[in-house]
């Protein structure tokens, strides 16, 4: 995974230098930003992963993440000294993929970076092939079909699109509002409560053919994510 580009955002110069030096020694190309506005500008270079501090002046990391999610789907790893569950939930709800507390282990940060980039590579390869493969389940992105343990799952169009959206961004948490806006559009007549009903139906259809995995997990207080483990 050398030569991947990582955007590192933190208002502390010492942390920037500490992480940047270590990642560049491993062959990564590291972009840096000391505030949220510069981060949004640097993100136009399409980094493979973003490391984002939460507590920053002018625009905090949560606000930056919300804006980034309008244009980028790459993994976002939060760094924060805020240790409460509420803070972690806010970070995930904003579109973050991971949340690492300060002070942190550099070895753990690099391990998480490697894990996220490996996952992204696998997903991109599968998307290029038109098929997403998970234990007991296969999604044909071209044919818009889902097969579970050899059985074709009879999903409606919107049910399929929910499955595809979550599966293509494995591990990322989406709120009901985000799913509704992406699949129904901002101007659609209705409300996001329909997402709950659609996901309930998808789970029931998948459960009819697999008993050991739920695939779509509820992240309480935030929304839903795809997790085949």
The strands making up 5-9's β-sheet, listed across from edge to edge, are 29-33, 5-9, 49-53, 76-80, 98-101
Cβ neighbours of residue 123 closer than 8 Å, sequence gap 6 or more: 132, 168, 170
What's the pLDDT at 190? Answer: 61
* Half-sphere exposure at residue 142, Cβ-oriented, CA atoms within 13 angstroms: 6
pLDDT digits (tens, 9 = 90+) for 193-217: 889 999 999 999 988 887 667 889 9
Percent of the chain with pLDDT strictly greater than 70: 96
With bands split at pLDDT 50, 70 and 90, how would you rate the model's confidence at 152?
Answer: very high
Would you say residue 188 has pLDDT above 60? no
Average pLDDT, whole number, for the chain? 88
Determine the number of helices (DSSP H) and then strands (DSSP E) in the chain.
8, 11
What are the distances in angstroms from CA 154 to CA 51, 149, 166, 207? 40, 14, 18, 13
- Neighbouring C-beta atoms of residue 36, cutoff 10 Å: 24
Would you say residue 189 has pLDDT above 70? no
Would you say residue 187 has pLDDT above 60? no
Joined together, the tokens standing for residue 136 give 């007991």
- Neighbouring C-beta atoms of residue 111, cutoff 10 Å: 11
pTM: 0.69
- pLDDT, average across residues 69-73: 84
- pLDDT, average across residues 98-107: 90
Distance in angstroms (rounded) separating the CA atoms of residues 37 and 56: 11
Joined together, the tokens standing for residue 29 give 């190309």
- Neighbouring C-beta atoms of residue 223, cutoff 10 Å: 22
With bands split at pLDDT 50, 70 and 90, how would you rate the model's confidence at 18?
Answer: very high
2 alpha-carbon distance from chain centroid: 21
């Amino acid at each position: 995974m050398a030569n991947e580009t990582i955007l590192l955002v933190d208002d502390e110069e010492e942390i920037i230098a500490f992480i940047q030096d270590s990642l560049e020694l491993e062959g990564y190309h590291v972009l840096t930003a000391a505030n949220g506005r510069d981060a949004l500008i640097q993100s136009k270079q399409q980094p493979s992963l973003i490391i984002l501090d939460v507590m920053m002046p002018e625009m905090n990391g949560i606000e930056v993440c919300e804006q980034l999610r309008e244009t980028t789907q790459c993994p976002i790893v939060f760094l924060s000294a805020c240790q409460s569950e509420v803070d972690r939930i806010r970070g995930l709800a904003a579109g973050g993929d991971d949340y690492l507390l300060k002070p942190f282990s550099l070895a753990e940060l690099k391990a998480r970076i490697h894990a996220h980039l490996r996952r992204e590579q696998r997903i991109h390869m599968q998307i290029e092939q038109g098929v997403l493969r998970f234990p007991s389940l296969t999604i044909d992105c071209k044919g818009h079909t889902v097969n579970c343990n050899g059985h074709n799952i009879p999903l409606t169009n919107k049910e399929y699109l929910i499955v595809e959206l979550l599966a293509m961004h494995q591990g990322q948490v989406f709120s009901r509002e985000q799913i509704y806006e992406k699949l129904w559009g901002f101007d659609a007549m209705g409300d996001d409560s329909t997402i709950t009903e659609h996901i309930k139906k998808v789970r029931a259809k998948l459960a009819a053919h697999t008993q050991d995995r739920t695939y779509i997990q509820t992240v309480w207080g935030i929304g839903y994510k795809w997790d085949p483990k």
